[in-house]
């Protein structure tokens, strides 16, 4: 990748404070804006331990868990996307390339079809998401040329298609009046039902996935040089790639099982981050996570505020994200060619 | 010589095709809600319902003519249905979202006429024409609106050749609607509660004002808090429900009804604080919708008792028992009644 690609308008030193300030602003907006009218004074009172009963309920039980969940999901998806793109040395890769979204989606809609409790639906989604990627990796490793990126991606496409067929079958079997709307909405992504218990359930998985990536960020960056070069620098490429795929999958599966299938973040945010930081993974990872968190909080704030009815996140991420993405592409186009 | 058998075959097929409708037709002509003139048998003995609302209407009018269900009754519905009808096979759905009924399966069930009951628009009109052309079976579409319910019952009774039965049920419908109007006349607008219709295990799906799924709430004078929105069903955030602060919550989800008291994000809402969250009975057909058909007539009375406990007249339990006897052909004992109403 070309060096021209780097930093087309932000200097290296100012980047971190800028991103942190952006995230803080997004979080503030997320906490302050919502369909239930709360003034800043009321919010201050509640956060200070006082405030009216209903304001306390809205803020502590509904809005804060949701803002936190959005930040978590955004950071997880963006970090996973950046990781996958680096691991596969392919800018078109998103976290669901190995079928994790389709797998988690299948498990979750099956849970909806069976009428399971909400936490069980999320757990089923989480487990099937992981199982799908495990199946893909198992297949890829046992096939000829095992462990090759191309074989892996093709296996992911095949298994993902199977999971997609399973989703269609579940939709067909679902009660069109009660279950089908819930399934459709889930597949478009939403944090409308996010509560503290959900955050508590997903947080460990996301931290467990993110931590090794942060610790191994230097080595992961070497993968971008190609397997042979990485090897000559002492990095066992195939094994490292499997490990970070596992980590990224863990995060994605946790995010998807909580928020449903939210497209675009995992593909787009890493590119936005790369245009600011350049391709170095140790700088890309934190930038992608911060941008992802902030972007998701803003999108989710819009999802609950622009109408009385929830707007599915998948729609908003595409509508807001696609133009930004194209604009960035135009600005950075010269750097895109290798 | 080589082409002769082919010509003969073509001739035979043509003759058979032209003879088919002629053989089937020894009946009369009815005009359906789309304005199409449809030729139906004098006394149809095998009738297929295109969707769940039609299925329910067919069941209450002429259960012996049903060839199957659109969706098979659930285990919990069986005690509330005539045993011979409950055992009929599931055939699938012809209208609405997702056609699950194959035309060949349809023909295997050998119906003489297809009836549909529900929304009348170009899509459904087209579907009627298309299915009728393809299957050669008469397809009658009847308006499913709440306001025209008595007329629609009579119209369907006419198609099915059960006019007396239809008249009895239509008279019940007229009196139920009149009773509701009389009740509402005595309740000023400002004493009518705001209502949130909760669906789904989290209670976050709702049906917006004007949608067929929530129509009954407005009919009983309830103010549906979900006023915006174009679609029938929508998802909302708990925060939005807090902002709406509904006086009453009606739900069709058993889990939600059981858990709402302990779900932190629902606390402080007037309906929850005052214990006015009501689970609509659902067997064999729902009281609110599911399907939006004649089953909603008893929902009118049930809702009147829940929304206006001080004004509603009559004994709800007796009314429900009477309705199940008249419409569904089942006699409910006290335990069954209690189980149904959740008392």
Work out the minimum CA distance from B108 to partner chain A, whole angstroms: 22
Provide φ and ψ at A129, rounded to 5°.
-60, -50
Look up tokens 């004649």; give the residue: B294
Q: What is the pLDDT of residues B152-163, one digit of tens each?
A: 999 999 999 999
CA distance linking residue A232 with residue B136, whole number of Å: 75
What sign has the CA pseudo-torsion B318, B322, B324, B330?
A: positive
- Residue B29 pairs in a beta bridge with B39
- Pair of tokens at residue B39: 């030729």
Q: Number of helices (H) and strands (E) in chain A: give both, helices first.
A: 16, 0
Residue of B nearest to A300 (CA): B237
Nearest to A103 by CA among A172, A169, A160: A160
pLDDT at A77: 95
pLDDT at B25: 53
- Residue B251 pairs in a beta bridge with B198, B279
Average pLDDT over residues A76-84: 94
Q: What is the DSSP string of B30-73?
A: EE-TTS-EEEE-SS-SSEEESSHHHHHHHHHH-GGGB--BSSPP
pLDDT at B97 over 60: no
Residue A57: which of B233, B242, B291 has the nearest Cβ? B242
Average pLDDT over residues A99-119: 89
- Pair of tokens at residue A227: 């397997």
CA distance linking residue B302 with residue B307, whole number of Å: 9
- Evaluate whether A271 touches A287 at the Cβ level (below 8 Å): no
Provide φ and ψ at A332, rounded to 5°.
-100, 15
pLDDT at B147: 87
Burial of A86 per CB tally in 10 Å (0-12, 13-18, 19+): buried
What does the CA dihedral A137, A139, A141, A147 come to, rounded to 10 degrees?
-60
Look up tokens 């930004």; give the residue: A324
Residue of B nearest to A35 (CA): B240
Work out the minimum CA distance from A195 to partner chain B, whole angstroms: 8
List the single range of A199-213, A217-231, B106-120, B130-144 with lowest mean pLDDT. Answer: A217-231
CA distance linking residue B287 with residue B293, whole number of Å: 10
Does residue A190 sit in helix, strand or coil?
Answer: coil
pLDDT at A11: 64
Alpha-carbon distances, residue B42 vs A138, B30, B45, B159 (angstroms): 65, 11, 9, 9
Look up tokens 């790369």; give the residue: A274
DSSP B142: E
Q: What is the DSSP string of B218-275?
A: HHTT-EES----SSSEEE--HHHHHHH--SEEEE--HHHHHHGGG-GGGTT-HHHHTT
Q: What is the pLDDT of residues B290-326, one digit of tens each?
A: 888 999 999 999 999 999 999 998 899 999 999 999 9
Chain B stretch 75-94, residues whose beta carbon is closer than 8 A to a beta carbon of chain A: 93
Beta carbons of B233 and A181 less than 8 Å apart: yes
pLDDT at A331 over 90: no
Beta carbons of B238 and A193 less than 8 Å apart: yes
Beta carbons of A57 and B240 less than 8 Å apart: no
Nearest to A84 by CA among A71, A70, A102, A99: A99
Angle at B87 between CA B83 and CA B92, to 5 degrees: 135
Alpha-carbon distances, residue B61 vs A211, B88, B154, B163, B283 (angstroms): 66, 16, 10, 9, 18
Work out the minimum CA distance from B237 to partner chain A, whole angstroms: 5
- SS3 string, B147-205, reads CCHHHHHHHHHHHHCCHHHHHHHHHHHHHHHHHHHHHHHCCCHHHCCEEEEEECCCCCE
When the pLDDT of each residue in chain A is averaged and rounded to a whole number, the result is: 86
Beta carbons of A176 and B199 less than 8 Å apart: no
Alpha-carbon distances, residue B82 vs A110, B49, B226, B329 (angstroms): 32, 17, 37, 6
CB pairs under 8 A between A and B: 104
pLDDT at B328: 96
Give contacts of A61 with chain B, Cβ < 8 Å.
Answer: 238, 264-265, 267
pLDDT at A6: 45
- Pair of tokens at residue A170: 């579940």
What does the CA dihedral A79, A316, A16, A208 come to, rounded to 10 degrees?
-30
A3-7, A81-85, A328-332 — most confident range: A81-85
- Evaluate whether B36 touches B128 at the Cβ level (below 8 Å): yes
- Pair of tokens at residue B166: 């239809």
- pLDDT classification of A129: cutoffs 50, 70, 90: very high
pLDDT at A96 over 50: yes
Q: What is the pLDDT of residues B61-92, one digit of tens each?
A: 999 999 999 888 989 999 999 999 999 998 88
Nearest to A34 by CA among B241, B95, B45: B241
Alpha-carbon distances, residue B242 vs B205, B246, B270 (angstroms): 14, 8, 9
Q: What is the DSSP string of B287-313?
A: SS-SS-STTHHHHHHHHHHHH-TTT--
pLDDT at A334: 45
Q: What is the pLDDT of residues B224-271, one digit of tens each?
A: 999 876 667 888 999 999 999 999 999 998 889 999 999 999 999 999
DSSP B87: T
Instruction: Count CB-CB contacts under 10 A for residue B261.
Output: 11
- Pair of tokens at residue A292: 């992802």
Whole-complex ipTM? 0.78
pLDDT at B209: 87
């Amino acid at each position: 990748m070309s060096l021209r690609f780097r930093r087309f308008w932000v200097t290296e030193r100012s980047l971190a404070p800028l991103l942190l300030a952006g995230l803080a602003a997004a979080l503030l907006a997320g906490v302050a804006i919502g369909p239930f009218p709360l003034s800043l004074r009321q919010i201050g009172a509640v956060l200070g331990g006082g405030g009216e009963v209903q304001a306390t309920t809205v803020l502590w039980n509904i809005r804060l868990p949701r803002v936190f969940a959005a930040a978590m999901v955004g950071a997880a998806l963006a970090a996973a996307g950046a990781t996958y793109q680096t691991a596969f040395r392919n800018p078109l890769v998103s976290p669901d390339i190995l079928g994790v979204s389709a797998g988690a989606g299948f498990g979750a809609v099956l849970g909806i079809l069976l009428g399971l409790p909400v936490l069980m639906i999320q757990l089923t989604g989480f487990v099937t998401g992981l199982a799908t990627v495990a199946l893909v990796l198992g297949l890829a490793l046992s096939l000829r040329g095992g462990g090759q990126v191309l074989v892996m991606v093709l296996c992911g496409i095949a298994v993902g298609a199977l999971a997609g067929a399973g989703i269609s079958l579940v939709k067909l079997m679902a009660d069109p009046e009660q279950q089908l709307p819930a399934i459709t909405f889930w597949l478009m992504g939403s944090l409308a039902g996010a509560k503290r218990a959900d955050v508590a359930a997903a947080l460990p998985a996301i931290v467990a996935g993110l931590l090794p990536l942060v610790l191994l960020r230097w080595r992961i960056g070497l993968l971008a040089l190609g397997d042979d070069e990485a090897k000559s620098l002492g990095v066992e490429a195939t094994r490292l790639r499997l490990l970070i795929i596992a980590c990224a999958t863990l995060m994605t599966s946790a995010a998807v099982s909580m928020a449903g299938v939210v497209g675009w973040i995992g593909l787009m945010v890493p590119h936005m981050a790369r245009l600011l930081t350049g391709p170095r993974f140790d700088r890309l990872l934190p930038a992608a996570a911060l941008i992802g968190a902030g972007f998701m909080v803003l999108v989710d704030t819009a999802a609950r505020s622009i109408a009385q009815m929830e707007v599915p996140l998948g729609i908003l991420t595409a509508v807001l994200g696609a133009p930004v993405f194209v604009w960035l592409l135009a600005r950075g186009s010269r750097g895109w060619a290798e | 010589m080589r082409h002769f058998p082919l010509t003969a075959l073509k001739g035979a097929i043509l003759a058979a095709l032209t003879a088919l409708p002629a053989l089937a037709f020894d009946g009369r002509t009815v005009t359906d809600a789309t304005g199409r003139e449809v030729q139906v048998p004098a006394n149809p003995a095998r009738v297929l319902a295109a969707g769940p609302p039609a299925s329910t209407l067919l069941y209450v009018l002429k259960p012996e003519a049903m060839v199957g269900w659109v969706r098979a009754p659930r285990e919990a519905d069986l005690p509330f249905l005539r045993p011979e009808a409950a055992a009929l096979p599931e055939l699938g759905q012809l209208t609405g979202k997702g056609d699950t009924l194959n035309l060949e399966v349809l023909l295997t069930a050998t119906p003489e006429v297809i009836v549909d009951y529900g929304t009348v628009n170009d899509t459904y009109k087209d579907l009627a024409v298309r299915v009728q052309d393809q299957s050669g079976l008469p397809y009658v579409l009847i308006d499913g609106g709440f306001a025209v319910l008595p007329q629609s019952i009579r119209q369907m009774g006419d198609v099915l050749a059960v006019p007396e039965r239809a008249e009895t049920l239509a008279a019940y419908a007229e009196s139920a609607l009149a009773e509701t109007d009389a009740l509402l006349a005595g309740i000023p607008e400002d004493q009518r509660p705001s209502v949130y219709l909760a669906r789904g295990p989290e209670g976050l799906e709702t049906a917006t004002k004007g949608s067929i799924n929530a129509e009954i709430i407005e009919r009983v004078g309830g103010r549906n808090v979900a006023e915006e929105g174009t679609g029938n069903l929508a998802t909302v955030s708990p925060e939005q429900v807090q902002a709406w602060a509904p006086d009453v919550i009606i739900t069709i989800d058993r889990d939600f009804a059981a858990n709402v008291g302990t779900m932190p994000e629902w606390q402080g809402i007037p309906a929850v604080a005052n214990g006015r969250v009501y689970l609509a009975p659902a067997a064999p057909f729902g009281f609110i919708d599911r399907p939006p058909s004649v089953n909603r007539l008893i929902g009118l009375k049930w809702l009147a008792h829940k929304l206006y406990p001080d004004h509603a007249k009559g004994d709800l339990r007796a009314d429900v028992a009477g309705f199940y006897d008249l419409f569904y052909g089942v006699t409910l004992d006290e335990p069954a009644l209690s189980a149904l109403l959740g008392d």
